[in-house]
A and B are shown apart, each in its own frame.
Chain A
Amino acid sequence: MRINATALVAGRGAFGLGSAFSALALGAIAIVSGRGAAAADMTVSVLDGAGHGVAGIVIIAQPETAVPERHIARRAIMDQQHMQFVPRILVIQTGTGVDFPNSDQIQHQVYSFSAPKSFKLSLYAGHKYPPIVFDRPGLVTLGCNIHDGMIGYIYVTDSPFFGRSDASGQLQLHGLPPGGYTLTAWHPQMQEAGENTLRLQFTLAENEHSTPVLHLTRPLRTEMTHDGDKRWTDY
């Protein structure tokens, strides 16, 4: 079975308008198309305790069999605006190159010492460095050595089937080969037991449109940044 997968990767222009929400959605959602003869679809829902959809959750559908051939576009952007990473959470497939432009007027000094990808970008503004290729799966936490309040996340997955839930708490995945899957949901503000992830295993039949639901047992915790005041300095 052959799966042709493409990803929408948000270009810089989308961020330039400051539309963080649309940038988050565009940057993260991979639309898998070019389905095979027996491909199935999936609508994943993430619900809170009251049954309401939860937006922004990273969702990975990991096939239990060998990962099919992938043709996802291998570029993504992690911008820096108003002393924040934008999007704050980026989910990409292994092998994707990520640009780290700095759209602020001040310099940043981006680093990660997470196991899947450790790197340092010396002080810079604008678009100075070539993309960094994330070649191992896992969670990469980003920081800025000048502004400790800046924290971003890049979730790197081997699976070509991934994205983040929309405003209604849903993610559409198309063209999945039938078989067994492990569904993983993650968000830095989740308060679930264990590794702060939700997992669900299920089997997808040919031509099925599956609608798995993941239930958060606790609400996302509130997260503040810089007391809401961007004028803060390092005192």
Chain B
Amino acid sequence: MDRLLTTALVLQGLLLAPSLVAASDFDATIDLRGVVADGLPSYLNGGLGELRYDEQHDSARLDSVRIGFHHDFLEIIHLNANAVSYADGDRSVVDLTEAYAEIRPFPLNGWRSRLKLGAFYAPISLENRLPGWRSAYTLSPSAINTWIGEEFRTIGAEYDLDWLGRQHGHDWELGLTAAAYGWNDYSGQLLAQRGWSINDRQTTLFGRIGEPDVAPISGLREFDSDVDHRVGYYAGGSAKYLDALELRALHYDNNVNPNSYSYKFDMFGWHTRFNSVGLRWTPTDRWTVISQWLAGTTIDGDSGFNNNVRTDYYAYEFHSDFVLVSWRRGADRFSARYDEFEMHQTLSDDFFNTDRGHAWTFAYECEINTMLSVAVEELLIDSSLAARPQIGEPVAALERELQLAVRLQF
């Protein structure tokens, strides 16, 4: 309830402060979907399917309503927020996915510092470039970026140092990023249990993600939990050649003590580390190729919270990568993506979980005008998740999802 109250207060503050807000500071998206799904019960509905929808939850529906807020303040301070309603029974009807302030002074002879404070996404995805961190290419982002949207939000501070080489006649721009954050002590848990997924549902700041009915996870809450009070970090760099080539690399470490225990949630912390590399190549105005790779580990304390014995840990290794090719002409965009993903348990005292699979995504979008776009997406996920028999499902599943989206932008 306190979180709900906080959300309401934040939104109310944004909406009602008359000196701060003008109507032009807002934008909104209404996303209507027609969905046909063929697969296991979704992880959002207590199952271990890797799609967002399942046969009991498809058909025509209101997918989401998003409200974006942007306000420039004192010349160099830029306030940003995104609120979304998925209308799917989350804890709050409307909740935030991002809320942060960016301090962005003028460059100094080609160098520029930026400081972000609040809740925002780490610079990993090369797909999610549209307002609200939506993919510019497909309805459902890759497995990697789905996971980022589900289990990761930087709640803290990020510093960026940019070298704007093009202002000096060079063809390159370079950037360095470092961040410190908290409130993500369970990031990794969803991946370890459910495996990878491909869907466009971002976890909201005060909301919940799915609760598969498999031990050791139950009652998972994500961003509002910080049990060990340790600061996580990430550091990375970026390079951009004209606007044709963009490279991002990041090392992420939430620095959680896996022995830290929350009596409230009856859970241990999840120490998650990974490396991420992404490349976008836009050789012509029409073609774009994007590839990302992410690999890491997560470790969770088990029952030995009072004796610090490492053999009591659950440990997992995971990786995923994808290649996306997109072709655009005028209002039309066609995209195809191949994902592969893998997760396996390396250390356990009782139960081993693994997930291996790959996926194809085919999408077409027509941007009819600045206010209306229509998109179609076919998604096929072929996966094997060892935990499925625990809820009476087969290990292997070939899941399909066909979506028609009508998006209204205001």
Which A residues fall within an 8 A CB radius of B? Answer: 105, 107, 109, 111-114, 120, 122-123, 139, 141, 143, 145-146, 148-149, 151, 196, 221-229, 231-233, 235
Contacts and interface: CB of A to CB of B under 8 A. Distances in A.
A113 B121 CA distance: 31
B55 interface: no
A235 B133 CA distance: 7
A114 to B, nearest CB: 7
A143 B243 contact: no
Contacts of A226: 243
B167 interface: yes
Given A109-B106, A226-B243, A151 B112 contact: no
B166 A235 contact: no
B288 interface: yes
A143 B285 CA distance: 21
Contacts of B167: 112-114, 141, 143, 151
B2 interface: no
A20 B341 CA distance: 46
B242 A223 contact: yes
B130 A222 contact: no
A123 B75 contact: yes
Contact of A224 (B128, B162, B169, B285): B285
A233 B129 contact: yes
A224 B129 contact: no
Contacts of B243: 149, 223-227
Given A139-B169, A235-B125, A235-B128, A224 B284 contact: yes
B75 A229 contact: no
A113 B285 contact: no
Contacts of B131: 231, 233
B75 A227 contact: no
Interface string B160-171: 001010111100
B136 A229 contact: yes
Q: Name the prevailing secondary structure of the B interface residues.
A: loop
B282 A227 contact: yes
A111 B111 CA distance: 13
B107 A113 contact: yes
Given A141-B168, A148-B173, 17 more contacts: A111-B107, A112-B167, A113-B108, A113-B110, A122-B75, A123-B72, A143-B107, A148-B162, A223-B243, A225-B243, A227-B243, A229-B136, A232-B130, A233-B130, A235-B121, A235-B125, A235-B128
B288 A227 contact: yes
Contacts of A111: 106-107
Interface string B289-320: 00000000000000000000000000000000
B12 interface: no
Contacts of B156: none
Interface in B308-360: 328
B19 interface: no
A222 to B, nearest CB: 6
Nearest to A121: B106
B136 A227 contact: yes
A60 B108 CA distance: 31
Given A227-B243, A233-B129, A235-B133, A145 B284 contact: no
